[in-house]
Chain A
């Protein structure tokens, strides 16, 4: 259990949260969001369809999945940027937006988001220091206080406030803009940071810089992170626990080490086996699975993965599998009828 040794002191303390110990920072229970399809009555894009998980204080939860799996919708639900159709969100032990709970505005003071498109999420007509200062100002700081916060936070993300503060977004590179976005999110001193594909639009050398920065900030500020990405290698590097999503559902959930070393769901196994090897001598010879992820408007009946699953059996076409604890630990879950058989038939991801 030493896969996050630099934060090592906190690991054991957090693990107890997973099993109903002291309250986790964020609990999502059966979140659902369907988008009606125009012109097709009764049809809806089932973007998020019953998703539950917890985020412990101080951990990084990775959410991974392909396009259309609902991971970005989920991120927006967590901040009530989209209002869930059903389900419950509990932040710091209090229900969000419910009677006796905390207001959405209070949630957004404590939880902030960094989006993928670093240019589109900054106001092109504001110098970046004003963009960063805007949050604290709206939350009640005076102008001078807000500016001081902006200066401090800009230097924390590695941008000299005198040099970069007065610049406009178009005068910055992609990596610098993403640093500004991180600074802006941190300016209101949130406890939770939700990052939706924060490095996907960046070049590799810049991606590494931003990931290193996030590590430092998380440690310095005691942040909790929800990190959404399609890139398994990045998720493995940053996360302590990982949720794998497919067509609006979590199909596997568990500690990062278990997910990457002993994946239980055939989809997770296929995802892992689809990663390029980085070695021309060990190329992938056969596609782990065929076809594309299906359209979330009409997800397949039964297990949503069954049309692409190499191990499909009769039961998969009719019954919807639930997330269940798998053998090798109380914190590792998978939603697959044939989990045991898959294990017996050799794992795809061993290569």
Chain B
């Protein structure tokens, strides 16, 4: 997003994803620009159906065949959209890996976690089973699984939710990825476990110097982990910038509304401020700014044209007509 980024780890340019169906076309992602530097955590923040998970999956091309992806995605200088299936297999779990929301469905229930981690290691490094198993043990210890040696031979159903997610993270880290994609990895976890996983991810990301994209709907979680935040609405990034600035002084009316409607120590005798209405149907996006129908600062021009990104500083963007230029 900024001009002085020489070679970002990840550069996404004008990314659009459409799902073409017989009756309608779903415009899931509509022109997203993103960059992630090595060692940086970017949080994509948004409500359900805003396109945040689709954006994330597009980076590894983990989308069904009927998804039409346009734009440019470069990881460490390599063009992801031009990759052959073979190159993609090397990319996934190698240079870039992913942690999913639901570890129970992301892990294979009929293999032990040790075997699943070892399989990834074998696939990418070509080492033998014994060496892969040693690496798996090392990884479980890295993610602080207690009595890791015993847990190596456990099946996913024998582990608690928190341990399963740790095993998932161990698998994702098995080949020293430079970019870790995390899709709501703590949403399915209990509060006391969520904070443990967040602290773990933050520590690993720092120690291993990875870039990370963390997708969440939870502003509090974003505040715990993000260096930068990108807020998505109806397939577009409406605001981005350093986490403290965006969460501390939101510029876009949607971000401001999201913050105001998040329950956090409000007086209990007053109504919570809300954003009226609900997000638009991605099959029939409104003309102009997608947020305009719900926006309290709507103007005439909002209905006619899509607001272009405005930068108040090189690193701080908001796409809204109601924000004064400069």
- The chain A residues found within 8 Å of chain B, CB to CB, are 3-7, 66-67, 173, 175-176, 203-209, 211-212, 215, 230-234, 236-238, 256, 270-271, 274-281, 283-293
Q: Is the CB of A211 within 8 A of B195?
A: no
CA distance A278 to B275 in the complex (A): 19
Q: Is the CB of B272 within 8 A of A237?
A: yes
Q: Give min CB distance, B87 to chain A, whole Å.
A: 37
Q: Is the CB of B262 within 8 A of A290?
A: no
Q: Which residues of A contact B193 (CB under 8 A)?
A: 66, 292
Q: Is the CB of A5 within 8 A of B269?
A: yes
* Nearest opposing residue in chain B for A234, CB measure: B263
Q: Which residues 259-286 of B sit at the A interface, judged by CB distance below 8 A?
A: 261-266, 268-276, 278-279
Q: Which residues of A contact B160 (CB under 8 A)?
A: 291-293
Q: Give min CB distance, A172 to chain B, whole Å.
A: 10
Q: Which residues of B contact A233 (CB under 8 A)?
A: 262-265
Given contacts A204-B47, A211-B263, A274-B195, contact A67 B274 (CB under 8 A): no
How many residue pairs link A and B with beta carbons under 8 A? The number is 135
Q: Which residues of B contact A5 (CB under 8 A)?
A: 269
Q: Is the CB of A232 within 8 A of B191?
A: yes
Q: Which residues of A contact B198 (CB under 8 A)?
A: 276, 284
Q: Is the CB of A271 within 8 A of B191?
A: yes
* Nearest opposing residue in chain B for A287, CB measure: B196
Q: Is the CB of B261 within 8 A of A204?
A: yes
Q: Is the CB of A279 within 8 A of B223?
A: yes
Q: Give min CB distance, A293 to chain B, whole Å.
A: 6
What are 10 A-to-B residue pairs whose CB atoms are below 8 Å? Answer: A67-B190, A208-B272, A209-B276, A212-B271, A233-B264, A276-B198, A280-B247, A287-B192, A287-B199, A292-B162
Q: Is the CB of A274 within 8 A of B191?
A: yes
Q: Give min CB distance, B278 to chain A, whole Å.
A: 5
The digit string for B126-148, where 1 denotes a CB below 8 A from any CB of A, is 00000000000000000000100
Given contacts A204-B261, A276-B223, A276-B224, contact A292 B272 (CB under 8 A): no
Q: Is the CB of A284 within 8 A of B199?
A: yes
The digit string for B251-264, where 1 denotes a CB below 8 A from any CB of A, is 00000011001111
Q: Which residues of B contact A237 (CB under 8 A)?
A: 263, 266, 268, 272
* Nearest opposing residue in chain B for A290, CB measure: B196
CA distance A313 to B109 in the complex (A): 38
Q: Which residues of A contact B219 (CB under 8 A)?
A: 204, 278
Partner of B272, one of A211, A231, A290: A211
* Nearest opposing residue in chain A for B159, CB measure: A292
Partner of B223, one of A207, A231, A270, A277: A277
Partner of B191, one of A66, A204, A281: A66
**Extra 16 A-B pairs, beta carbons < 8 Å, given A276-B218, A283-B202:** A67-B190, A203-B48, A204-B258, A205-B257, A206-B278, A208-B262, A212-B274, A236-B263, A270-B192, A274-B192, A279-B223, A280-B224, A280-B247, A284-B195, A285-B199, A292-B193
B31 within 8 A of A: no
Q: Is the CB of A212 within 8 A of B272?
A: yes
Q: Is the CB of B263 within 8 A of A281?
A: no
Q: Is the CB of A208 within 8 A of B263?
A: yes
Given contacts A204-B217, A292-B161, contact A230 B190 (CB under 8 A): yes
Number of interface residues, chain B, beta carbon within 8 A:
48
Q: Is the CB of B217 within 8 A of A203?
A: yes
CA distance A211 to B224 in the complex (A): 25
Q: Which residues of B contact A6 (CB under 8 A)?
A: 269-270
CA distance A66 to B193 in the complex (A): 10
Partner of A283, one of B223, B262, B268, B273: B223
Q: Which residues 293-318 of B sit at the A interface, judged by CB distance below 8 A?
A: none
Given contacts A67-B190, A205-B275, A237-B263, contact A276 B195 (CB under 8 A): yes
Q: Is the CB of B266 within 8 A of A276?
A: no
Q: Give min CB distance, B122 to chain A, whole Å.
A: 30
* Nearest opposing residue in chain B for A69, CB measure: B190
Q: Which residues of B contact A274 (CB under 8 A)?
A: 191-192, 194-195
Q: Which residues of A contact B268 (CB under 8 A)?
A: 3-4, 236-238, 256
Given contacts A276-B218, A278-B264, contact A205 B195 (CB under 8 A): no
Q: Which residues of B contact A256 (CB under 8 A)?
A: 268
Q: Which residues of A contact B218 (CB under 8 A)?
A: 276
CA distance A285 to B224 in the complex (A): 9
Q: Is the CB of A175 within 8 A of B278?
A: yes
* Nearest opposing residue in chain B for A282, CB measure: B223
B232 within 8 A of A: no
Q: Which residues of A contact B265 (CB under 8 A)?
A: 233, 236
- CB-CB nearest 5 A-B residue pairs: A276-B220, A208-B261, A292-B160, A66-B190, A203-B47
Partner of A288, one of B163, B195, B262: B195
Q: Is the CB of B195 within 8 A of A287?
A: yes
Q: Which residues of A contact B264 (CB under 8 A)?
A: 233, 278
CA distance A75 to B126 in the complex (A): 53
B243 within 8 A of A: yes
Q: Is the CB of A205 within 8 A of B258?
A: yes
B226 within 8 A of A: yes
Q: Give min CB distance, A9 to chain B, whole Å.
A: 12
Q: Which residues of A contact B190 (CB under 8 A)?
A: 66-67, 230, 292-293
Q: Which residues of B contact A293 (CB under 8 A)?
A: 160, 190, 192
Partner of B274, one of A3, A176, A209, A292: A209
Give the interface centre of A4, A206, A231, A289 by most chain B CB atoms within 10 Å: A206
